[in-house]
């Protein structure tokens, strides 16, 4: 079995409207699903990705209005790494972020910045050979569009503790045979890296601007086997969880980061046409009877993309 790189990364926001504005207008991503947290349906779960809502490009956010600002520490992902097409793209994004009064730091073939709530990002020039996963935005030239995930960086105090789970159980490939800090999950079509950095002394704190979990992509017919494999290795899992658009298994890897294995299908077009993704509040069937109650608790959000013309 092979994991097809990163499926999605989920984070926390305290302000859904500002979150939509940044990820759709500024970063040029497409909102591909506006729904609710299935474990707590009184709060939004927003999904941004490429035009098709593909696994491998999917940034998601839970909105907890007024949540305190978080801080990444040991056992937490501190930087999400995304792909762009060229060094010229890095220059484009540096200027675009400056126009939004957001600071960035250019370092060779990468650009580091944080979103308005402090969530860390790095853009790197894409040399993966994987198919670019891009969205269409009126303000972002196609050649500079974000191309999906490259990887993620986490803080840990003991990277060697995760070596057996990552390498022997999940099949990640070490970046260096003598190192426990650099890994890649690569399947037939896509790959994504997972890297550790030394944890700061200050203790981490979940909240706005922090990553909640990272999901790795599983083929649909392998998710039960993955659950069994992780469990047999001595790691406690949630068992299979039906998220309607995909099925999942959750567990914590030894550093403390919450992992999810999520199926590639059935996908976001299983309940609405691709042209209408993200335009209205969509609920999994088991929540549909609660729609009126749920909508009353949610902050109204503007439609981030005009509806497709009829016909």
* pLDDT, tens digit (0-9, with 9 covering 90-100), for 245-267: 999 999 999 999 999 999 999 99
Per-residue pLDDT tens for 7-66? 999 999 999 999 999 999 999 999 999 999 999 999 999 999 999 999 999 999 999 999
pLDDT value at 190 more than 90: yes
Q: How confident is the model at residue 175 (pLDDT cuts 50, 70, 90)?
A: confident
How confident is the model at residue 177, as a pLDDT? 64
pLDDT value at 221 more than 90: yes
- Which of 252, 251, 281, 284 has the alpha carbon at shortest distance from 266? 284
- Beta strand extents in the chain (DSSP E only): 6-13, 30-37, 40-49, 58-63, 77-84, 104-107, 110-114, 120-125, 149-156, 173-174, 182-186, 191-198, 211-218, 241-242, 246-252, 258-266
How confident is the model at residue 85, as a pLDDT? 98
Report the alpha-carbon angle 133-139-140, nearest 5: 35
Q: How confident is the model at residue 309 (pLDDT cuts 50, 70, 90)?
A: very low
pLDDT value at 181 more than 60: yes
CATH of 6-297 given 3.30.465.10, 3.30.420.10, 3.10.180.10, 3.30.565.10 = 3.10.180.10
pLDDT value at 310 more than 50: no
How confident is the model at residue 108, as a pLDDT? 86
Per-chain mean pLDDT for the chain: 95
How confident is the model at residue 247, as a pLDDT? 98
DSSP notation for 190-235: -EEEEEEEEPPSSPPB-SBTSEEEEEEEE-GGGHHHHHHHHHHTT-
Q: How confident is the model at residue 308 (pLDDT cuts 50, 70, 90)?
A: very low
Q: What's the predicted TM-score (pTM) here?
A: 0.96
Per-residue pLDDT tens for 64-86? 999 999 999 999 999 999 999 99
């Amino acid at each position: 079995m092979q994991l097809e790189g990163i499926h999605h990364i989920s984070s926390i926001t305290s302000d859904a409207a500002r979150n939509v504005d940044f990820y759709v207008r500024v970063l040029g991503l497409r909102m591909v699903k506006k729904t609710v947290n299935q474990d707590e349906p009184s709060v939004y779960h927003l999904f941004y990705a490429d035009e098709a809502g593909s696994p491998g490009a999917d940034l998601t956010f839970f909105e907890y209005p007024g949540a305190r600002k978080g801080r990444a520490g040991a056992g937490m992902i501190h930087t999400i790494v995304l792909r762009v097409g060229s060094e010229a793209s890095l220059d484009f994004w540096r200027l675009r972020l400056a126009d939004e009064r957001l600071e960035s730091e250019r370092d060779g073939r990468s650009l580091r910045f944080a979103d308005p709530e402090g969530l860390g990002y790095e853009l790197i020039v894409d040399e993966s050979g994987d198919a670019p996963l891009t969205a269409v935005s009126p303000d972002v030239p196609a050649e500079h569009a974000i191309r999906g995930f490259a990887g993620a960086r986490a803080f840990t105090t003991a990277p060697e503790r995760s070596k057996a789970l990552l390498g022997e159980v999940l099949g990640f490939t070490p970046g260096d045979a003598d190192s426990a800090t650099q890994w890649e999950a690569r399947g037939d079509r896509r790959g994504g890296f997972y890297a550790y950095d030394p944890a700061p002394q200050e203790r981490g704190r979940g909240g706005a601007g922090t990553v909640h979990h990272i999901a790795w992509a599983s083929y649909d017919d392998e998710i039960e086997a993955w659950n069994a494999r992780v469990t047999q290795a001595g790691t406690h899992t949630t068992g299979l969880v039906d998220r309607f658009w995909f099925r999942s298994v959750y567990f914590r890897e030894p550093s403390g980061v919450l992992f999810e294995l999520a199926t590639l299908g059935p996908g976001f077009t299983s309940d609405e046409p691709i042209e209408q993704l993200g335009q209205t509040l969509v609920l999994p069937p088991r929540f549909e009877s609660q729609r009126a109650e749920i909508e009353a608790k949610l902050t109204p959000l503007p439609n981030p993309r005009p509806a497709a013309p009829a016909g």
